[in-house]
Structures are given as C-alpha cells and as structure tokens.
Structure 1
Amino acid sequence: MSLLQISSFAAGEWVAPGDGARTIASAITGAPLATAGNSALDVQAMLDHARSVGGPALRRMGFHDRARMLKALAQALDARKSKLYQVSFDTGATQSDHLIDIDGGIGTVFVFASKGRREMPDGHVYLDGDVEQLSRNGTFLGQHICTPLHGVAVHINAFNFPVWGMLEKLAPTLLAGVPAIVKPATNSCYVTELAVRIMVESGLLPDGALQLVSGGLGDMLDRLGAQDVVSFTGSADTALKLRRTPAIVENAVRFVAEQDSLNASILGPDAQPGTPEFDLFVKEVSREMTAKAGQKCTAIRRIIAPEAQVPAVIEALSARLAKTVIGDPRLETTRMGALVSEGQKRDVLEKAAILGQEAERVFGDPDAFDVHGADADKGAFVPPMLFHCADPDRARRVHDTEAFGPVSTVMGYRDLNHAIDIANRGGGSLVTSVITHDSAVASEVVLGAAAWHGRIYINDRTSMKESTGHGSPLPHMVHGGPGRAGGGEEMGGVRGVKHYMQRTAIQGSPEMLAAIGGRWVPGAAEADKGAHPFTRRFGELEIGDTLNTASRTVTLDDIAHFAEFTGDTFYAHMDEDAAARNPFFPGRVAHGYLLISFAAGLFVEPDEGPVLANTGLDNLRFMQPVVAGDSIKVRLTVKAKTRRTEDYGEVRWHVTLTNQKDEKVAEYELLTMNAY
C-alpha cells in the first residue's frame, strides 16, 4: 500500500513532501503510514503572503464578518468530521477520544463565532474598558482600544490534539483579524492536514488567512518581527529553546506558551468512601488517566488524598482501571487506544521508571497486559500505571517529572494546608481539581492554590451531572497556567482574541473618540434631525442621532399613585419626616423607576414602526433625587449599532434624564431591536 503524502499549504499552493521528509507510522500497527515534510519550503514567501495578502484581507472584514466566517468554517468541518474520525484512528485515538479532539475543536470554533457576534462590535475597533475623563470639563478624554496586529501568528501545536489544538488557537486568531501559519506535530499532522483541506476547499477563507507546514518550520522563527505572534503547545524544554530565538528576543515577539503541567486532583477531607464525592473522584481520575491514553496536557498526574483514605483510593482506582479494555481503537469495545508513536511509548516508560525511584507502582505492569485486536509488540500500547508515593514531602521527581501517558501517582496529605502545598509543588499547572461538598474546603484551596494554577475545577454531587470534567478546557475560560505551565493564557473568550491585537491608548476630544471607536461619547456631536429617531430604520440611523424631549413635572400624587400601584411603599417615598432623616434625601422623593417610566413616556413613539422590541437597559444610575414639583426631560442619543441578522439590528441608546436646572438625575443605556 502506498504511503499517504502529507502536503503543506504555502502561499496558496499545496506542496508535497520533498527533501527532509520523514515517515510516520501507525500507532496501532507500527507500520509506515505517511510521509511529511519538505525542507525546501519558502518560509519567507509564506510570511510575506500572510502579511501582505492574508492580513489586509482579514482586516477589511469587521469582527462580525469574521465571526460569521468562523461559524461557516465550523459548519464545513462538522459536515465532514466522519472523514476526520477515520484518519484519526491511526493516532491511537478511540471514537470517544475523537469527540474530545474533533467535535471539541469544532465546538470551540462555534463558541468563538458566537462570542464574536455577541461580545465584539460590528466594526473594526474593539473598545477595551470605559472612557476615562482626563479633564475637568470633559473635552479631553481617553479610551483603550484593540486593533489587529499587522503580522502573522505562527501556531506550533502538539501531537495529542491535531484538530482541537489547531482550532482553539486558530479561532481567536482569525476573529482578531490576523492570518495564521499552522505547524502541527509531525506524528499526527495527517489529521490536521485534512482539517485544513476542508477549510481551504470550503472557499470561506480569504487568500493568505491560513497556511500549513507539515514538517519542520526551517528558519521561519528567525524571520519574525514585532507584529508577529508565536503560540506554542509542547514541552517546557522546547518552549525554552524557541523563546531564546534571537529574533523573538530582539523584536519582542509575543510568545504564548502552554507547556508541561503536573496537574493535581485533591480529594476533600469530607469525601469519605461511600459519599458521592468519593465515587466521583475515582471516576474523574480514572477517566483522566485513560482518555487519549493519558496524552492530555490537562490529565491528572498527581492524586492527592487524605492519608487515611489513600488505601481506599488505590483500591477503588485499581478496580476501575482493571476494567479498561486496551486495544485497537477502531473496535467499539476498546476504551483506551495506543500512544501516538513508539517514541512516545519509550518516553512514557522512561519517565515512569523515574517516578518509580520515589514511588511504588501499585497497578499496571508494562511487561504484562492484554491488548485486544492488535499486536502489543507492534503498536505503541502501554497499560494504565498507578504509583503510590508514601512521602511526598521528601520526593522531588513526582513533582517535576511528567510521564505523558496513562500514568498517575497517589500521595497522602495530613491536613488541607499540606494538600495545598503538595499541589503547588508542581511549580505551576494548567488545572487542579478539588472534589468536595464542603464550600469552606473549596474556598481554602482556592485562596491557597490559585496563584499556582491556571484553572481550579471544583465538583461535587450538586454539579456532577452537568460538569464538563477536570480535563476539559472550555473556550469560555482561559487555558494556561503560571510557572511550569508556561505562563500563557489561551481561549478565555475575547481574552484569547486580544493576544493577537494591540492595545492602544487613544486620547482626544469626545468627537475624536466617537469617530475612532464607532460609538457615541457624551460631549460628541449630536444631530437632532426633526423626525423622531424611532421612526427611522436601523440602516437609516446614524451614531449621534438625538431626540430632546419636552419636560414633565413630577407631582406628589404621581409618587403616591406609583407607590400604591406597584406596592413599593419604601419610606423615602411615603414618609416626609423619615425621608428627611435619611442623609441622601431632602424629604419625600420620587421612585427611581417612576422616573424611568416617565422617561419612556416622554420619548417613546407609540405608532407601529421599525422599533421591534425593547430588549433591556444597562448601566442604570440615579445621580440625585427628584422631589414633587421638579420636572424631568430626556435626551435620547444613538450610541452604537450592531447588526444581528439581515432583517434587524440592535440599537444602543444613551439616555440622560435632567431636571429643571439641567442637572443629571439619571442615566442609562436602552437597547432596542430595529428593523433593518
């Protein structure tokens, strides 16, 4: 059978393997499967293509355009994911592993597409934080903004997640408006190549937005500059080597790393055998040891339990691991497949031997285990291996050696502070979990350990049915960790997008900030065009369009009627003497919500028109009280517009209520849906 030829996609062309190509073997059989790599790739041409073609094309699109593109890409991948499943088996992954890698990656793209539409502007500038008033009268203001970098993102990914590992970086990168060059690990690059082909053949990507290196990068990193980003997943040793690339150091190239992590799981002192939490703990640890054959950056490497419960934990875990069927991942009965390669198998066994210097292996013999439907001598199979470290305080290697496979070590703690200390001795992790039904235990662990861990996952009988698991990084939350884990943060919703953007402080007049940010700022120009703005369609409204209403006097009868009608008889509205004793009120005052209701009566256009719905209000503040005899009027200004569909869009109105002295009494932002 001829070998698969795994190509690169460079400067718009597919480039077959050539000089420097290496052979990739099946993790199941050890037989040659594919070749990949070409040392003749023109890496400068790839960088130029990304910077001069891909970048400008993406930046011409707004955030919402790019979000819609991401959604369509996710749909294209989802429609052909069965093909990705089929090629992924040879990495040693089971069908359940595919759901983590392939379906999880596609789901991540969907989430970023949704967040791009919901949380980012329908424009080209992302506003980061509120406007800062830098002068007494508000004519000189400041605003932080984020705009796309003008370089390229080089993504260097690990072998264990050839689809998710690419997509969790690619989605925020493309949403930011930056082109990407993806370099997957060669051992599993054939899965990544197929995913890239699906996206390229969809015709959804602008030319130059995505390129692929199947093999080595050559001297690409030596050619990076200040507008470029490197996002790396892999070992700490490799990360250190790449960080030291002279061009990266000299040009202050952004370097985001997600590397080695000795993640821990703590069994709370309340989680005795027989409790739901104890059973949950055993289930979670077993799953994290065997999913992807333990080849997960978030897998549990250190199992921390009360000293009195260590024997019960070992017994329960051993019993559960004994039920794990190891074998050909294509078989439905298989629960754990092979490691990705023979080289990875050797590395895991070497690291397990190091752990064995400080811990006793209590389950799993790599020289005697059953493999179903495959030859254990030819495939990269190992059994789950459980170690017990009796003295975690004196041990060193169990806290600094990661066997990147189905290997974990149980260790006991005396009290909760001791458990926290053990967890933190890993020097920084992506995730530590706490299985407890005691909120005081969870709080103490968070306060003592959060500084050393990128994510703390807490689970108990309340959340166990819906929780996503210790080892599941979610696109909504940051994925990364301090110290040993690399110090980086990926995903985290819009936080991940900002890695590929420059934050810039803009200073100027309200008019200038409004023009740059595409969002009206108090003090910027207003346009009262005569016709009520509620009579104009979404496409006809412009930022700064304003309505100034007539005034309405608030009477004591109004206050009393509102109190009786709503049931809000708070003393400040009903009792003159009691209200006067309140340091915030001069006497009996109008309800804040009465003022909001009167404001709506002043500015609402009652006839049928393009306003389809009032969907809420934000940032409501009451500045000063209104008493009977005061009058209020409203200024209603179009602050921002966000198109939601082809038929309608969201209008954000800045609403200011003032009294007869032109003093602000209330302010908020009204949201309406308007027909396009």
Structure 2
Amino acid sequence: MTITSAARAAIDLPADAVYIGGEWIVPDDEPRLDVINPATEERIGSVTDCSAETAAKATAAARRAFDDWSRTSAGQRAAHLDALADAFEQHGDQLAALAAREIGMPLREARAVQVDLPTRVLRSTADLARAYRWDGRDASGSSIVREPSGVVLAITPWNFPVHQIVAKLAPALAAGCTVVVKPAELTPLNALFVAALCGEAGIPAGVVNIVTGRGATTGEALVQSGDYDVVSFTGSLTIGRHIGAVAGGRIVRATLELGGKSPAVLLDDADLDTAVRTTVKNCFVNAGQKCNAPTRLIVPEELRAVAVNIAAAAADAYVLGDPLDEATTMGPLASHAQRDKVLGYLDGARRDGRVVTGGLADEHERGYFVRPAIVTDLPETAPVVREEIFGPVLVVLGHRGEDDAVRIANDTEYGLSAEVWSGDPARAAALARRVRAGQVRVNGVRTPSLPVSPFGGYKMSGLGREMGAFALEEYLEVKAILGDPELT
C-alpha cells in the first residue's frame, strides 16, 4: 500500500500490506486496488484485494490469540483501550487529513467524527469495562457469568470508516473478543492507519487483524468461512440480508446496521427557521452520506412553502471544494458510482415533483461533486421519498396534524433514527415515543459528549445495537452456573 506524506509523518505503513497476527504481511501475487481521492479523482494509494487464503490467515490469528486475550482482566483490556485512545489523540491531525482525502469529508468534520468521536468511544468503553458487572447472582442463587463470544468478524462501511471500526472494535475488545476487520474497498487506508495505532498502543498480536479487499472477494470469503463467532456488519440492506442469511445458517450471531430513511418531524409550535436550518445541516453532514441523516423533513402543510424557501437558502450557502480547505463546507461524494446514483434520483424527482435547488456541480471539472438539493411536491410513493439515497438530498413533505405526521414518519421500511421538533417539551417527548425508530433526537440534540446511548434500528434498519453497555452485550455469552458455591 502507498499512502500520503501526511500519514507517513506520524505512522510508517509498509506498501501493499495487511495486518495479521501483529505483523505487516504483503500477500504475494494478489491483485491490487487503487484508492482514489474523490475530490481530485487522483490515485492516492493502493491496497491488496486479499484472497480467501489470506483472509483465513487473519481469522486463524484471531483464533489463536483468543484464549490469552479472553483471560485478561477487564481492567487490563480497558487499559489497552485507553492506550489506543492516546494514540488517536497523538496522531489525530494526520488521521483527519487522511480521512478528508480518502472520503472527501471536510477536514473539520473529519476531525470531529473520525478522530474525536472514536477517541471518546474508546475511553467511554474502557470506563464501562471497569464498571461492568461481569459476574452476579440471580434470584435463585445461581451464578450468572458473562464471557466473551470469541472471534468477531467486523465488516465496515466507507462513509464513516474510522468511527465504524471503533464502534465495533472497542466493545469487542472490552468483552474479551478478538477481531478481524474488513474495511470497505473505497476507504481502506484509514483502517490500516488504525491497525498501526493498535500496534503502537501495545494491543497483543492477533487480537486485532485487518485485511483489505472487495466485498465480493475478501468479504465474501470471510463471511462464507464460518470461522468466527459473531459478525458485525454496517452497510446496505441487500448485503446485510445476505450476511444475515449466511450467519443464520451457521447459527452465528449477527449484528446488522443497514441504513435508514430518517424523518425530521416539525409540529406547528416549533421554531420553524431553527428547525429547518438545523435539519438541513444534519442531513448534509458528509455530503448526506450518513445512514441516520434526516432526509425527510415533515412540516405542517400550511408552512411547507416557507420551509422549502428556508431549506433552499441553507442548501445554497454550502461551499463545495477541496476537503482540506478550511473554507469548504461540503466535499464530494465518495465515488463516481455514488454521484451517478444521486443524480439519477434527482432526475426522478424532477419527473415526479420539483427540485428547488441542487444537482450536478458542473463548475467542478474534477471530483464527484453534487450541489445539495431540496425537493418537494412529491407523492409519498416516489422513490426519492421512500428509498435511501445516501447523498445531499432533502425531501420536504407536508403533514395535516400530529397523527398524520406520525403516519408519514413511520411509513417506511426503515427505522434507524428520527428527529422531532416542538416548542412544548412534553409534546415533543410524547411524539418521540410514537415514532418507530431506534434513536429519536428531540429539538436538535446531537450525539452526547459521553457516547453511550444505544444506536441501531427497528424494521429493515437492522439487528442489534452499538454504543455503551448494549454494544458490549452484543459480544458476550451468558452462562448460568447452578449450585455454584459462594467464592471467597
């Protein structure tokens, strides 16, 4: 693998290598995949498209390391997580710059969600491991023991690669599991940077292994191998169905986070200007490439025209450009294919309704740029209303009262996230309880500074939860020991 000088300033990564058993290994005679900067369309590196044999070496290394790692104390594992957090802080500037170039995310966003948030997740998970009740007794007097499940296969997406790796890695390591990570082929350099940080933090050999490659090759080989005890996947509904089916056939636990079509519901007593502008901002983080983006703005019908104008003005204020330029507020989409997909949805929106603003950013001769779009006057059955687009597209819909707003919000196959706005806190709280989603944000509240609130979805948004104690329990087995004497 080749990598930018910004990353080399902090971490020396060998070319075309993967991280297995605590060592950098360069697979022989295996294809290479180019890594492209989506803002410039230039090659910034390459990685190996690992074979089934190389993938098997990673799972074997994780299996060998499991016995020793699972027997370490919770305090020892927590200390390793804190050391990894220290490494994130030490190399945060380089990691953020690499993320900005590889994903196209503006540097300020990259620092917040690819460095600061993962660091907080590592530290909060370390604290949880120290405080967690690993052993206890139930009402019958039996001992209830929580033990690590084994080897975890973590398959992570391209949109928030570092955060998604850490969201799986931190609780798995805290639980006493070992891990094989297969990052998305669009953004693998961040994952290898994390591997180097794991080595710097002193995490024992084989506890964390990272192999690169395409989902159809390396990912499929790992999933089909069955040589794991838990699979945790974040990505598309189609691939999630497949992984869930394979895991189910092997009676292996699967946690699946599969996306969303999240609503932002505004009631008639909400501060319209604040709510609309905040929804636009939340929707367009990472150019809208965010599974919990509030992509459906549901406002009182009599206020829809005003809301559309506010949203359009907010969208038009974005500055598209080089993610490393501090003046840039929106970068490109992650790939040519993703840009074409978003533009196709906008073509459909023009046929079905009205695109108020946004579309192809033809002022940029290079890069996969799309100007943020506001669309309205659409039937509720339109694809742009119902399907996850994963781009900077906000749909504005009108509701005719609170019950109608809840109906529209829940009229989706997804249920990952939602937002509600009301000038009456009690009314907002009651509305939040009627929305079928795994996480509901009230009046603009974002991820807390202590990132322990569970994240995951209802319906087709997946199975299982990330963050906090709920995440830890995804990687634990529960054992009842009947007649167990009191230990002294």
1:304–1:419 Cα contact (<8 Å) kept: yes
Supply the AA of the counterpart residue of 1:73: L
Partner of 2:55: 43
Distance in 2 between residues matched to 1:268 and 1:366, nearest whole Å:
33
Please state which structure has a larger fraction of its residues in helix: 2
- Establish whether residue 132 from structure 1 lines up as the match of residue 144 from structure 2: no
- Which of 284, 288, 291 pairs up with 2:278? 284
- Structure 2 stretches of 5 or more lacking a match? 5-14
1:58–1:177 Cα contact (<8 Å) kept: yes
Distance in 1 between residues matched to 2:229 and 2:440, nearest whole Å:
31
Distance in 1 between residues matched to 2:348 and 2:144, nearest whole Å:
50
1:59–1:148 Cα contact (<8 Å) kept: yes
Q: 1:399: how far off?
A: 4.3
2:322–2:331 Cα contact (<8 Å) kept: yes
Aligned residue for 2:480, secondary structure, equals strand
Aligned residue for 1:180, secondary structure, equals strand
Map 1:140-159 onto structure 2 (within 5 A). 141-149=141-149, 151-159=150-158
Change (3 A) 1:238 1:356: farther
- Establish whether residue 229 from structure 1 lines up as the match of residue 230 from structure 2: yes
Map 1:271-670 onto structure 2 (within 5 A). 271=270, 277-366=271-360, 370=363, 376-392=364-380, 395-449=381-435, 452-459=436-443, 467-468=445-446, 475-491=451-467, 493-508=468-483, 512=485, 514-515=486-487, 543=488
Distance in 2 between residues matched to 1:474 and 1:425, nearest whole Å:
32
Q: 1:201: how far off?
A: 2.9
Distance in 1 between residues matched to 2:230 and 2:120, nearest whole Å:
24
Change (3 A) 1:487 1:398: farther
Deviations 1:269-292 (A, max 9, x none): 212xxxxx3232123212123221
2:114–2:161 Cα contact (<8 Å) kept: yes
% of aligned pairs identical? 26
2:420–2:442 Cα contact (<8 Å) kept: yes
| Larger Cα-atom Rg | 1
2:105–2:331 Cα contact (<8 Å) kept: yes
Q: 1:255: how far off?
A: 0.8
Superposition TM-score, scaled by structure 2 size: 0.91
Aligned residue for 1:35, secondary structure, equals strand
- Establish whether residue 92 from structure 1 lines up as the match of residue 86 from structure 2: no
Distance in 1 between residues matched to 2:279 and 2:120, nearest whole Å:
24
- Establish whether residue 9 from structure 1 lines up as the match of residue 19 from structure 2: yes
Aligned Cα RMSD in Å? 2.1
Deviations 1:302-353 (A, max 9, x none): 1100101111111111111211111111111111111112222122222333
Distance in 2 between residues matched to 1:425 and 1:400, nearest whole Å:
9
Distance in 1 between residues matched to 2:135 and 2:451, nearest whole Å:
19
1:64–1:116 Cα contact (<8 Å) kept: yes
Partner of 1:239: 240
- Establish whether residue 201 from structure 1 lines up as the match of residue 200 from structure 2: yes
Distance in 1 between residues matched to 2:472 and 2:295, nearest whole Å:
30
Map 1:159-174 onto structure 2 (within 5 A). 159-174=158-173
Superposition TM-score, scaled by structure 1 size: 0.66
Distance in 2 between residues matched to 1:356 and 1:473, nearest whole Å:
40
Distance in 1 between residues matched to 2:23 and 2:232, nearest whole Å:
24
Q: 1:6: how far off?
A: 4.5
Aligned residue for 1:365, secondary structure, equals strand
Partner of 1:255: 254
Deviations 1:443-469 (A, max 9, x none): 4323322xx20011112xxxx6xx436
Q: 1:367: how far off?
A: 5.5
- Which of 200, 216, 220 pairs up with 2:222? 220
Distance in 2 between residues matched to 1:144 and 1:355, nearest whole Å:
55
- Establish whether residue 21 from structure 1 lines up as the match of residue 20 from structure 2: no
2:354–2:375 Cα contact (<8 Å) kept: yes
Work out the number of aligned pairs and report it. Answer: 469
- Which of 132, 145, 161 pairs up with 1:120? 132
Of the structure 1 ranges 232-241 and 350-359, higher mean CA displacement relative to structure 2 is found in: 350-359
Distance in 2 between residues matched to 1:300 and 1:473, nearest whole Å:
20
Deviations 1:509-551 (A, max 9, x none): 5xx2x33xxxxxxxxxxxxxxxxxxxxxxxxxxx5xxxxxxxx
Distance in 2 between residues matched to 1:475 and 1:177, nearest whole Å:
21
Supply the AA of the counterpart residue of 1:142: S
2:99–2:114 Cα contact (<8 Å) kept: no
Partner of 2:10: none
Aligned residue for 1:170, secondary structure, equals helix
2:50–2:212 Cα contact (<8 Å) kept: no
1:262–1:429 Cα contact (<8 Å) kept: yes
Q: 1:428: how far off?
A: 2.6
